[in-house]
Every structure is written in C-alpha cells, then in structure tokens.
Amino acid sequence: MIIETFITTIFQQNTRVLACEDTRRAVCIDPGAAADTIAEFINVNNLNLQAITLTHAHLDHIGGVSDLHKIFPQAEIILHKDDEVLYYNLPAQPLLMGIPRGELKALGLEYETPPTLTRNWRDGEIYAVGNLRFKILHCPGHAPGHVILAEENLRKVFSGDCLFAGSIGRTDLPGGDYEQLINSITDKILPLGDDLIVYTGHGEDTTIERERTTNPFLTGYQITQGKFA
C-alpha cells in the first residue's frame, strides 16, 4: 500500500492518500486543505483517485473537499450519515468553535458549502480500493458519524480522531460523547489486534498494543472494568 501523509492545516491534521500499488487505485482520507499539493502527488504517481473517504466531518478533515473535488470531479465523496449535518454546515463550524468571523480569512478557515455527498458509509462494509480491502467501522464519540478504516490483511488501521498516540479524541464538541468514544475504542478498535499499526488523525503513528497497554485513557478504563491484562 502506498501511504502518503500531508499536514495541511493549522490544526496539524494528517491528510492521507492511500493507494494500491498494483492497480494505482487511490483514495484521499480527510483532505483538510491544500488540494493542489494532494493533486500533484496523485498525478505525479499516476494514481486514479476513486474517492474522498471521510472519517468524520470536522472542519480540519473536510476543509479541502471542495477544491479536491473540483480537480477530480469523478471521485466519490463518502461520509457516515450521522455527520452529514456537520458536513453541510462547514462554513459555520469555525464560528461554533469560537473563532471570530473577522479572523476566518487570515486563518484559512473561510469555507464554502462542500459538494453533495455521493453516499454514506455502512457500518461493517468492506470497501475495495484496487486490491486493498478496508473494513469500515462506525466509532462514534468524537463525532456522531465517525468511522475508522481497517485494512486487516495489511494490519493497518486509519483511526481518524478516535485514537491518538497516548491520547484520544476530544469529546466537548457538538455531538461528542466520552463514554461512547471509550466504548468505540475498546469494543471496535482494540479487538482488531495488538499488531495493527494505527495511523492517527493528528500526530505520530502508533500500534494497538502500545495504546492498549500505555494510553492512560484506556489503561484506567480497563482497570475499572476489570479488563486490564
């Protein structure tokens, strides 16, 4: 699998292009901004962008969808239905976060309404990208419609803002729920297996084993639940 990471916004979000080396089929996970840079990588490497695959609809993950879709209009745009309200209200998201209207342009946070979604993720679906197979798992808590993409054959998971190296996603934004997030991680992400490499939405890569055994949000929970191993 080709994995290229782009840090495109002031939020240090990890945008990624994933591609099947054999077929050159590709997706872009969470284009935060900088569509020109992403498009150049896709074109220089002779990749065929089949979809913009969104883990959730916070502004730092979808701010580049409009521009990228203008360059690759054939690419599908896929998001879980429970994040559609956030998606179509992208222009208002910075204001909801408390950023003054007068500062939006200077911060690169002045957005148009993003293009219409092609379809919604279904929990448990297997999504093919050439020879790659991603299992889509609905993991609410950070955002209501958050999904993760797990390539179990290649032992990699793209966790968005559910799980970070040493931390977890914030749950204070609209639709966030701490208990739900902990349950998503412990019931859906950790069971994928200790050896999986975790590609997170912000910060460095990690592994499930490292987070299961050292992430303070998870070790504390497992002790209280009697699950600590």
Binding site for Fe ion (CB under 5 A): 58, 161
**Pick from 157, 129, 158, 225: nearest CA to 14:** 158
161 or 211: whose CB is closer to Fe ion? Answer: 161
Q: Give the span between the Cα atoms of 68 and 81, in whole angstroms.
A: 21
Q: Give the span between the Cα atoms of 10 and 70, in whole angstroms.
A: 23
Q: How far is the CB of 229 from Fe ion (least distance, A)?
A: 30
Q: How far is the CB of 126 from Fe ion (least distance, A)?
A: 25
23 or 171: whose CB is closer to Fe ion? Answer: 171
63 or 130: whose CB is closer to Fe ion? Answer: 63
Q: Which residue is nearest to Fe ion (CB)?
A: 58
50 or 55: whose CB is closer to Fe ion? Answer: 55
130 or 160: whose CB is closer to Fe ion? Answer: 160
Q: How far is the CB of 225 from Fe ion (least distance, A)?
A: 26
Sign of CA dihedral 29, 35, 38, 44: positive
58 or 212: whose CB is closer to Fe ion? Answer: 58
Q: How far is the CB of 170 from Fe ion (least distance, A)?
A: 7
